[in-house]
Amino acid sequence: MESTKKGGLWTLRYTLINSTYFIAFCTIHACAAVYLLANGFSNTEVGVLLAIANIVSAVFQPFIAGVIDKKGVLTNRRFILISVMIILLGSVVLLFVKNIKAVIFFVFALIYMIQFAYQPVMTALCFEYQKAGSKINYGLARGLGSASFAVTAAFIGRIIEKRGVDILLFVNIAVMAISFIVVFTFIKPKSSEASADESRKEVAHNNLIDFAKTYPAFALFLVGTICFYFAHNMINDFMIQIIRHLGGGETELGYSNFLQAILELPVMALIGFILKKIPSKNLLIMSGFAFFVKIAILIFATNMAMMYLSQSFQLFAYAVFIPAAAYYVSTTMEEADQVKGQAYVTSAITVGGVFSNLISGVILDHFGIKVMLIIGTVVCAVGAITALIAMTKLKHHNVLKGEGSNG
């Protein structure tokens, strides 16, 4: 009973870290264009800012992960604290800086990039603490993070209409202050297992080529991930155009975003149980084909019912991919490479998003919705086949037994 209570407390605290993160993710990432356009940026300037922030983030994540993996002064927890403070202080600066576009550009790009950068570190923190003896239900905490995003997305648009875009900054400041307190008091327990782990001499594979040779299945899977998220971001970035093509509007956009976010909760909450029945590599293959089905449905969609059907495949696509990828890294990589592994997943997702940002809009402007969706479907099919080959034909580097035992 005492162990269950302690496990519940660890999960609650880690859930707060996730929830505050994803509330801010909604106000920073999902509302980026809303905030920037209200501050005098053009659509082109918004695109340039987000592309730069995403590219820098994709490069920065593996670099900072390599530093953390070296077990020096910078730890997972300390990097999260630094990131939270940058977002909090950046939001304060933006509150007082008006009509100075160069400053807004730099500060917003910084907090946008930093928030992406600490997402994989937050995941690595969970598995680090699990191995030290804390009983954290990763899937439940991550699912409640998605639910927090869904609830924020459902209400934030209406609040912006009444109060203006500065409300986004006030939300950032509030949730980052809470996050700082929670993370500051979230101290890893000392255990014999942790001591044993620290005494192991492991070689960190910080060179990308060396890393790929050590984890060939994972390296090829990252190529598939870029393809999945090219299609996934195509849908998310141009959802309003797709919905208008199907006869809907902003209200239906809100319903679609809420639906796909809230559907993530049950799958993520149960992922520990699911992983005891199905290995993470098989779940990753399944998620790849679910991404494919999700976008393929939209080629043939003629009404909003088919849009909602497409969004419901979030259950098997994103909702499975995120926790399954986290567990795959945790169970197939040496501890000295695990933060990098989580970072490479997020970098691949980011790279897929950058390609989508740069290409999809051009295709949409010149050839229309249907051609854009067909190209996205073809790219996603290539990704699904690549993931299948990676997970079934190449070598896996197993370091743990019993996937899901910690979740």
What DSSP assignment string belongs to 52-68? HHHHHHHHHHHHHHHHH
291 contacts 227 by C-beta, under 8 angstroms: no
- Could you tell me the sign of the dihedral formed by the alpha carbons of 151, 57, 51, 166, in that order? positive
Hey, where are the domains in the chain?
1-200, 206-407
Q: What is the mean pLDDT of residues 123-127?
A: 88
User: Using 50, 70 and 90 to split pLDDT, how confident is the model at 42?
Assistant: confident
- And the tokens for 249? 């509007």
Q: For residue 154, what are the CA distances in angstroms to 49, 57, 179? A: 26, 27, 22
Domain 1-200 = CATH 1.20.1250.20: yes
Q: Which residue has the higher pLDDT, 149 or 5?
A: 149
- And the tokens for 200? 């192991």
Q: Which residue has the higher pLDDT, 120 or 204?
A: 120
The reported pLDDT for the residue numbered 191 is 60
pLDDT tens digits, residue range 59-77? 888 888 888 877 778 889 9
pTM listed for this prediction? 0.81
Pick one of 1.20.1250.20, 3.40.630.90, 3.40.50.300, 1.10.3720.10 as the CATH number of 206-407.
Answer: 1.20.1250.20
Same fold, 1-200 and 206-407: yes
- Element of type H or E holding 124: helix 101-131
Lowest mean pLDDT among 92-96, 200-204, 220-224: 200-204
